[in-house]
């Protein structure tokens, strides 16, 4: 059972964060809130999201699983006004979700949760460098890098504690260094990995809205991004596997 | 020679009044002009020039005009050009929005060629035109009168799909294809304005690619939900100087990348070879492919194969064209070359490296390896479960 109302903005950010990587997901609902964890079809990127019951205006739920077609909801989102209140209600059979906003009532058929791949286990990673940067600053660097290349290296130097983003294309190069007040280190250590910009651009839109994003980085290891939204009541984690330039 | 030739394939992107390459084949042959025709009409043709006011009508030849038959009977390029040289294209002015072109529709509907009687306004003479997508036609002329003598024999599934005006063209194409109607028939029905809710006459050139795209998109929807292929498979085959090689890579993540190479001195290239690469991921392909109709035909063939074995994979497709392919015969060549290639026993190997080596051996060249972005991607991109 699920019956809840939520501000349009928070609803939109929730959907955007997940739709960056997948078209469908399994949503776990209980009295504490909602959560999901899923990987994209190529097993390269993972998203985990939690939104606590307190982020909703009203929230009543009993534990259940919902198979969401994120694409369907995303295509409907342009209809939702900025200040609308979105109300969500699961029908008794658990097969349809009613989404109402601004006079509209939208009923979407849910996916059978058996057809959605099972929740992945997050890999155990040892990522030595942990630091925080402003989300918008990070996303800007990603957008700029996308103009010259399809991959980017993220690196931290233990000596200087400078965070460097470096994108090299066939002929051009873009480098962005963050240091001083722009980076807040929790642990500063040597780390350098290369990532596909395709994925980072998709994740970047959500990261860009966060005031601060925590980055955990290793050498030739996945990178982890985590940030909060909805006034700290929601949290998103992304994990992205690296590219290895072997040849 | 402009470098865009391999992408344009005679559409006229260079701005010249007529394509310098297809003009090479603008041969003239001594056939006596005919002012009337009595015989079979196996299909219909609609030109794209002047859209939405186009010219279209029946194709007339007392011979098969289905490429499947040509391949089955082992026709050479010369044989095909000769069949097509004898083909007459009857034309009358059509407005695409008024798809009620009765007699022409009967021809498109019929499962076997219908006998027609046609009188031309002026005697038609030989004037062949080639183009990359559509099959060439030898003679064309405006029709004064068209009579269909036979009654169309319509297969049940075609009848059902064409008489239902609430059935979208995409759905109709899928249903007919699944029930064994070949793409050539479906293209004909689409061209004649017999499919869909808002019916339109569709220029044949566009209908060919539209049919391939409609069907492959619906197969793609099924394939992406299938389990991953258990091993790497490499296919290779050649038809009319077109070598098509497919590398199927185990994955749940459908991707397709195609590379097309026009070898030095082959049809659309000059003194330099021309290479065009294009690809896609996910369900939709945002832009029309620069490889043109060939892309959609090859993609359909490999999706058919994946569906038949119930597996999902990432696919690399290499089309290598030699000078032997001297006349552009239309997109069907790629479709049949792909079928030919996929009908062989594949090389089944366990690693990407072996698959690439096997493909290089079959193709006799490895120029394509550094050109394929998807291959580089697969080699470099790690997955989360490797940690």
- Chain A residues with CB under 8 Å of B384 CB are 39, 43-46, 120, 123, 222, 239, 241
Which tokens sit at A139? 């996303």
In this prediction, residue B1 has a pLDDT band, given cuts at 50, 70 and 90, of very low
A-B interface: how many C-beta pairs under 8 angstroms? 51
Residue B43 has what pLDDT? 92
User: What residues have CB less than 8 Å from B236, skipping those under 6 apart?
Assistant: B243, B244, B245, B246, B341, B344, B359, B362, B363
Residue in B closest to A125 by C-alpha: B387
Does residue B125 belong to the interface with chain A, where contact is any CB pair within 8 Å? Answer: no
Task: Return the percentage of chain B with pLDDT > 70, whole number.
Answer: 95
Local confidence band at B50 (pLDDT 50, 70, 90 cut-offs): confident
Please report the pLDDT score of residue B172 as a whole number.
96
Cβ atoms A80, A94 nearer than 8 A: no
* Element housing B281 (H / E): strand B274-281
Tell me how far apart the terminal alpha carbons of chain B are, to the nearest angstrom.
51
Write the ipTM. 0.85
Give tens-digit pLDDT for B80-124: 888 888 889 888 888 888 766 788 899 999 999 999 999 999 888
* Sheet of strand A212-217: strand arrangement: A64-69, A24-30, A33-39, A45-52, A234-240, A223-229, A212-217, A129-134, A184-187
Mean pLDDT rounded to a whole number for chain B: 88
Residues 6+ apart with CB under 8 A from A202: A20, A21
CA dist B1 and B273 (Å) reads 12
**Angstrom distance (rounded) from CA B368 to CA A189:** 41
Q: Does B284 touch chain A (CB under 8 A)?
A: no
> Residue B362 pLDDT > 90, yes or no?
yes
Convert the pLDDT of each residue in B144-169 to its tens digit. 889 999 888 999 999 999 999 999 99
The verdict on a CB contact (< 8 Å) between A241 and B382 is yes
Would you state the pLDDT for residue B27?
53
What would the two tokens of residue B67 be? 């490429």
Strand blocks (E) in chain A? 2-7, 24-30, 33-39, 45-52, 58-61, 64-69, 85-90, 96-101, 104-109, 129-134, 151-156, 163-168, 173-178, 184-187, 191-196, 212-217, 223-229, 234-240
CA distance linking residue B161 with residue B196, whole number of Å = 9
Task: List the single best residue of A38, A43, A247 to mutate versus B (max B Cβ within 10 A).
Answer: A43
pLDDT over 70 at B29, yes or no? no
Task: Report the pLDDT value the prediction gives residue B34, as an integer from 0 to 100.
Answer: 82
**A134-149 b/e (C-beta count within 10 Å ≥ 16 → b):** bbeebbebbeebbebb
Q: Give one DSSP letter per residue of B106-127, joined into a string.
A: HHHH-SSPEEEEEEEEEEE-EE
Beta-carbon count within 10 A of B307 CB: 16
247 residues of chain A, pLDDT tens digit each: 899 999 999 999 999 999 999 988 999 999 999 999 999 888 899 999 999 999 999 999 999 999 999 988 988 888 898 889 999 999 988 899 999 998 899 999 999 888 888 889 888 888 999 999 999 999 999 999 999 998 999 999 999 999 999 999 889 999 999 998 899 999 999 999 999 999 999 999 999 999 999 999 999 999 999 999 999 999 999 999 999 976 5
């Amino acid at each position: 059972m699920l019956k809840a109302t939520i501000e349009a903005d928070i609803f939109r950010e929730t959907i955007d964060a997940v739709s960056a990587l997948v078209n469908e997901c399994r949503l776990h609902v209980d009295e504490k809130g909602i959560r999901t964890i899923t990987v994209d079809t190529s097993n390269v990127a993972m998203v985990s999201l939690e939104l606590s019951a307190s982020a909703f205006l009203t929230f009543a739920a009993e534990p259940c699983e919902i198979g969401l077609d994120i694409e369907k909801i995303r295509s409907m989102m342009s209809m939702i006004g900025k200040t609308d209140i979105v109300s969500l209600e699961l029908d008794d059979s658990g097969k349809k979700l009613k989404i109402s906003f601004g006079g509209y009532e939208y009923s979407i058929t849910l996916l059978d949760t058996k057809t959605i791949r099972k929740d992945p286990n997050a890999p155990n990673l040892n990522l030595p460098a942990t630091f925080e940067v402003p989300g918008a600053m990070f996303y800007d660097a990603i957008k700029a890098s996308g103009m010259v290349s399809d991959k980017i290296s993220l690196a931290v130097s233990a000596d200087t504690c400078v965070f460097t983003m470096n994108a090299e294309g066939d002929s051009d190069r873009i480098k962005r260094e963050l240091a001083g007040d722009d980076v807040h280190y929790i642990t500063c250590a040597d780390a350098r990995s290369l990532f596909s910009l395709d994925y980072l651009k998709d994740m970047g839109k959500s990261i860009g809205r966060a005031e601060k994003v925590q980055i955990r980085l290793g050498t030739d290891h996945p990178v982890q991004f985590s940030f909060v939204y909805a006034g700290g009541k929601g949290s998103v984690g992304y994990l992205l596997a690296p590219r290895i330039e072997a040849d | 020679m402009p470098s865009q030739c391999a992408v344009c394939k005679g559409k006229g992107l260079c701005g010249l009044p007529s394509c310098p390459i297809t003009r090479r084949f603008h041969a003239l042959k001594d056939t006596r002009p005919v002012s009337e025709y009595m015989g079979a009409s196996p299909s219909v043709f609609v030109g794209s020039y002047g859209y939405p006011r186009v010219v279209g009508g029946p194709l007339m030849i007392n011979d098969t005009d289905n490429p499947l038959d040509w391949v089955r009977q082992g026709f050479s390029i010369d044989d095909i050009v000769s069949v097509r040289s004898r083909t007459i294209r009857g034309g009358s002015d059509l407005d695409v929005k008024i798809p009620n072109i009765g007699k022409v529709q009967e021809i498109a509907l019929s499962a076997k060629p219908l006998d027609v009687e046609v009188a031309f306004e002026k005697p038609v003479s030989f004037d062949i035109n080639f183009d990359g997508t559509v099959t060439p036609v030898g003679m064309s002329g405006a029709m004064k009168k068209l009579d269909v003598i036979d009654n169309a024999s319509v297969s049940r599934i075609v009848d059902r799909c064409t008489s239902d005006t609430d059935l979208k063209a995409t759905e109709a194409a899928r249903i007919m294809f699944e029930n064994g109607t070949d793409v050539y028939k479906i293209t004909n029905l689409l061209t004649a304005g017999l499919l869909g809710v808002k019916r339109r006459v569709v220029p044949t050139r566009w209908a060919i690619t539209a049919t391939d795209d409609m069907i492959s998109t619906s197969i793609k929807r099924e394939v992406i939900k299938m389990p991953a292929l258990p091993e790497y498979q490499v296919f290779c085959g050649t038809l009319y100087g077109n070598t098509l090689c497919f590398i199927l890579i185990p994955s749940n993540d459908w991707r397709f990348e195609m590379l097309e190479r026009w070898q030095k001195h082959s049809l659309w290239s000059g003194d330099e070879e021309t290479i065009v690469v294009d690809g896609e991921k996910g369900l939709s392909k945002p832009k029309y492919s620069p490889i043109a109709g060939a892309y959609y035909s090859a993609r359909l063939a490999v999706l058919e194969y994946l569906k038949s074995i119930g597996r999902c994979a990432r696919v690399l497709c290499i089309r290598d064209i030699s000078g032997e392919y001297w006349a552009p015969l239309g997109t069907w060549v790629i479709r049949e070359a792909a079928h030919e290639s996929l009908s062989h026993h594949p090389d089944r190997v366990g690693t990407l490296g072996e698959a690439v080596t096997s493909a290089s051996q079959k193709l006799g060249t490895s120029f394509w390896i550094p050109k394929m972005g998807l291959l580089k991607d697969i080699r470099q991109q790690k997955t989360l479960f490797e940690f």
